[in-house]
Amino acid sequence: MCASASVDHHRPRDREQRDGRQPGVGGPRHLSAAAIGTAGRGLVPRAARRVVSWRRRGWQYPVVTWSLVVPVKRLAVAKSRLGGGFQPGLALAFAQDTVTAALATPSVGRVIVMTDDSDVRTAVIALGGLARPDVARGGLNEAVRRGAAYAVGIAGPHPVAALPSDLPALTAAQLQAALVAAALHPRAFVPDALGTGTTLLSGRDGSLDPRYGPGSAEEHARAGATRLDGEWPGLRRDVDTLEDLLAAHVLGLGGATERMLATSSLLCGTTP
C-alpha cells in the first residue's frame, strides 16, 4: 500500500451519495409522473420495499422503474491497458462498485450482468444482481442486445439502460439524475468524460440499438439517441488506463476498488 492509493479523506463518498439522495437534501426529488411518463410497470420486490421506505420518510419516489444491463468481460482478458498485474482484481472491483451503485439507485428495479466469468457471477449474485451467461461471445453490443431482450422478456416493454462495468466512481445519486433525464426521451445516451465514447445508453421501451466502440457518442447520436450532458462525473468516468483510474480516484472510488488499491502499489508515485 502507498499513500496515494489510500482513501482520499478530503473527498468522501458520503452517505447521501451512496443511498441515492442529493447532497444536502432530505431525500430523492424527482420529476412528476406527468413529466416523466408512466413507462415501466411492476416493481420487483427489492424496489417495492424501497418505495415503502421512501413513503415512510415522506420523500417523493420515482415512477419509472428501470432494468440495467451491465456486460462484464472475462476477468482474465479485462483491463489489459492498466498493467501492473492487477487487472483481474481491478476489473472485478470496478464491476462490483458499478453494480452496487446501480442497485442503490431508487428507480432501478433490477441489474442484469451479462458475463462468462464465474467469479463475476458469484460476486453479482452476492450483491443482489442477476447474472446471465454471455454465451454468444459476440462482443459488447451483442451482450447489451441480449441483456435488453432478457429484461423485456421477463417484464415486457419497459425502460432499459446499459452501463459499462468500469465505473468505480459511480454514485446512485448521479445515476438516478441521469435516468430521470433519460426517461424524457425514447432513446438517450451519456457520453464518457472525453465526450467521444458512451457510458449510459437507454431505451424507454427497452429498445437500445447499441453502438459501443470507437466514436460511439457520434454513432448513437446518428442513430437517433438524445445526448445527455449532465454534471455526472462518476457516470462519465469509465476506466481503461492508469490516468483514468487516477481521475476516478480523485472523484471518489467505491469500496471494492478502494480495498483493491489499498493492497496494491498501482497508484504509487502518482499525484491525485
CA–CA gap between residue 257 and residue 245 (Å, rounded): 10
Strand 226-227 with 198-203, pairing = unpaired
CA–CA gap between residue 259 and residue 140 (Å, rounded): 27
CA atoms in the 13 A half-sphere facing the CB of 17: 17
Instruction: Using a pLDDT cut of 90, give the percent of the chain over it.
Output: 64
| 245, pLDDT greater than 70 | yes
Its sign, for the CA torsion 11, 15, 20, 26, is negative
Looking at residue 132, the DSSP 8-state letter turns out to be E
SS3 202: strand
Lowest mean pLDDT among 54-63, 161-170, 236-245: 54-63
CA-based nearest residue to 189, from 210, 170, 206, 174: 210
Q: Within its chain, how far is the Cα of 61 from the centroid?
A: 20
Distances (CA, A) of 122 to 10, 12, 95, 96, 107: 33, 28, 12, 11, 24
| 113, pLDDT greater than 50 | yes
What is the pTM (predicted TM-score) of this model? 0.78
pLDDT of residue 22: 38
CA–CA gap between residue 225 and residue 203 (Å, rounded): 9
pLDDT of residue 84: 63
Lowest mean pLDDT among 1-5, 97-101, 158-162: 1-5
DSSP letters for 31-69: --HHHH--------HHHHHHHHHHHHHT----S--EEEE
pLDDT of residue 251: 98
Its sign, for the CA torsion 208, 214, 219, 220, is positive
Do the beta carbons of residue 67 and residue 109 sit within 8 Å?
yes
Q: How many CB atoms lie within 10 A of CB 164?
A: 24
* Residue environment code for 210-242, b if the CB has 16+ CB neighbours within 10 A, otherwise e: bbbeeebbbbbeeeebeebeeebbbbbbbbeee
Do the beta carbons of residue 230 and residue 178 sit within 8 Å?
yes
Per-residue pLDDT reduced to its tens digit, 162-194: 999 999 999 999 999 999 999 999 999 999 999
CA–CA gap between residue 73 and residue 71 (Å, rounded): 7
Domains delineated in the chain: 36-262 (3.90.550.10)
CA–CA gap between residue 82 and residue 240 (Å, rounded): 7
3-state DSSP percent of the chain in helix, strand and coil, to 5: 40, 15, 45
